[in-house]
Amino acid sequence: MSSEFRLSMHGQWSGRVAFILAATGSAVGLGNIWKFPYITGDNGGGAFVLVYLFCIVLIGIPVMMAEIFLGRKGGLSPINTMGMLAREENRHGIWRGLGWMGAIAGLLILSYYSVIAGWAMAYTVRMAAGVFVGATADGVTSIFVALTSDPERLLGWHTLFMLMTMTIVSRGVQHGLEKAVRFLMPLLLIMLLILVAYATTTGAFAQGFNYLFYPDFSKLTSESVLVAMGHAFFTLSLGMGAIMAYGAYLPKNISIAKTTFMIAGADTLVALFAGLAIFPIVFANSMTPAEGPGLIFKTLPIAFGQMDYGILFGTLFFVLIVFAAWTSAISLIEPMVAWLVENKNLSRIRASAYIGVLTWFIGVGSVLSFNVWEKATWSIPGLFKDLTFFDTLDGLTANVLLPLGGLFIAIFVGHLMAKHKVKEEMNSHPLLYTIWYALIRYVTPLLVIIVFLKAIKLI
Ligand code: PHE
**Under a CB-based contact definition with an 8 Å cutoff, are residues 162 and 362 in contact?**
no
User: What average pLDDT does this structure show over 326-331?
Assistant: 93
Name residues whose C-beta falls within 8 Å of residue 430's C-beta, 6 or more positions apart in sequence. Answer: none
Structural domain including 240 reads 3-455
What backbone phi and psi angles, to 5 degrees, belong to 171?
A: -95, 0
**What CATH number does the domain containing 431 carry?**
1.10.4160
* Tens digits of residue pLDDT in 79-115: 999 999 999 999 999 999 999 999 999 999 999 999 9
Report the distance separating Cα 244 and Cα 453, nearest Å.
27
- Render pLDDT for 150-193 as a digit per residue (tens, 0 to 9): 999 999 999 999 999 999 888 876 766 777 777 788 889 998 99
For residue 405, which of 84, 64, 170 has the smallest C-alpha distance?
A: 64
pTM of the model: 0.95
Task: Give the nearest ligand 1 atom to 27 CA.
Answer: 1
* CA contacts within 13 A on the Cβ side of 55: 29
Most ligand 1 atoms within 8 A of CB, residue of 36, 235, 296, 404 to mutate: 235
Q: How far is the CA of 27 from the centre of ligand 1 (A)?
A: 5
- Residue 239 pLDDT greater than 50, yes or no: yes
Q: Whose CA is nearest to atom 6 of ligand 1?
A: 237
3-class DSSP assignment, residue 379: strand
Residue 380: phi, psi to the nearest 5? -110, 110
Rounded Cα gap, residues 89 and 225, in angstroms = 34
**DSSP symbol at 4:** G
Residue type, 418: A
Q: Which atom of ligand 1 is nearest to the CA of 331?
A: 10
**249/236 Cα distance (integer angstroms):** 18
Q: How far is the CA of 2 from the centre of ligand 1 (A)?
A: 33
Taking the centre of ligand 1 as the mean of its atom positions, its distance from the CA of residue 242, in whole angstroms, is: 8
DSSP state of 35: I
The protein residue with its alpha carbon nearest to ligand 1, atom 7, reads 237
Q: What is the DSSP string of 389-450?
A: HHHHHHIIIIIIIHHHHHHHHHHIIIIIS-HHHHHHHH---HHHHHHHHHIIIIIHHHHHHH
pLDDT tens column, 254-267: 889 999 999 999 99
If one counts the domains in the chain, the total is: 1
φ, ψ of residue 66 in degrees (nearest 5): -65, -40
